[in-house]
Structure 1
Amino acid sequence: MTSNEPIKRKLVIVGDGACGKTCLLTVFHLGRFPKEYVPTVFEHCVAEIRIDGRYVSLSLWDTAGQEEYERLRPMAYPHTNVALVAYAIDSPDSLENVTTKWIDEVRRECPGCPVVLVGCKQDLREEGLARGEPASKYVSTQQGDEVAQQIDANRHVECSALTGHQVDKVFEYATRAALFSGALGYGKKREGKESSSGCCIVL
């Protein structure tokens, strides 16, 4: 690899269905919030990111959280360099599932892979609390921090795809973590072809 060639890394995002994974990726690589919710089966995009003066070609792999896609999801894991484990801030159950389901799957499929815990839909908590809704309806920052420590995540980041708050931070932290992993990543090679589309992002 020459100095002008980007460093190749792969990111996979997992979490409950409708927790905000696809919206987060869409806002990051397309710069717009999706108008309607369409459940993901498999989506893959390659984003070129400049970070600390280095270009990184980051493959972004979206996955389905629904149970009916349990057998398909492992196909996304081979050669992963960093995993985003997502939950919805307006759904405490989705954070609980991080500890009871998602982190176990990531550790099983990609032992040693760095993890960034991502709280999506931060704007809903702010709006709800402003309306006087009970705080127990939402995941607090402290609760997310505690789970991040419990699962040994590299980072915990709260964000809002709708407002764009901290979306770039999520991928900055993820890319930095990915750069410390080996070029081949983690996880076993599985059968199947990879396809990609391109986009360019500068951090």
Structure 2
Amino acid sequence: MSKRKQHLVETALRLFMAEGFHTVGIDRILDESGVAKMTLYKHFPSKQALILEALALRDQQFFQQLKQFADAFPIQHGERIAAIFKWHQAWIASDTFRGCAFISAAVAFPAAQAMAHQFAARHKVELEAYIRASLPADMPPATASHLMLLLEGAVVLGLIHGDCRHIGEAIRAAEGVLSVVAPSGLLVG
């Protein structure tokens, strides 16, 4: 990707996350990025194409950062699951937290056939698959869905309330879920 295109996509993503997909117009993105309209349309035939590219960038950033942190922890005793929750806790507590781009996209484009909505759905499927792959082998597959619900709820409530207390509650609930399915003492500590 060229530097100008990359800068355009990064600017669009930042603005979309700060102000919303429908609120931010092309002219605003062009003003903020310093890119000419002709350059924008050379790379993106529509605002929707730019939105999809911004979501792709966020998807790449998200998984790269999450996996870089969590993959350093072993799976066998639930440490990787704990790391996934701790990474989310740090993200929610950060000054740059503006909620989840994919939840925002699904809300902004509620029709299931909308491309941004479909992209958001794929991202969440991939996140749940990562959680499932991070569980010890003896865990029931449904455990990943339960943990996903806790994580997603904490992200939404973190945005709504502007704090990270709910991720702490989600961590304690995850400990409960894991101790029920693996009563041998596996906890997300």
Give the TM-score, by structure 1 length: 0.31
Structure whose CA Rg is larger:
2
- Higher RCO by CA contacts (8 Å cutoff, separation 6 or greater): 1
- Structure (1 or 2) with the greater strand fraction: 1
Give the TM-score, by structure 2 length: 0.33
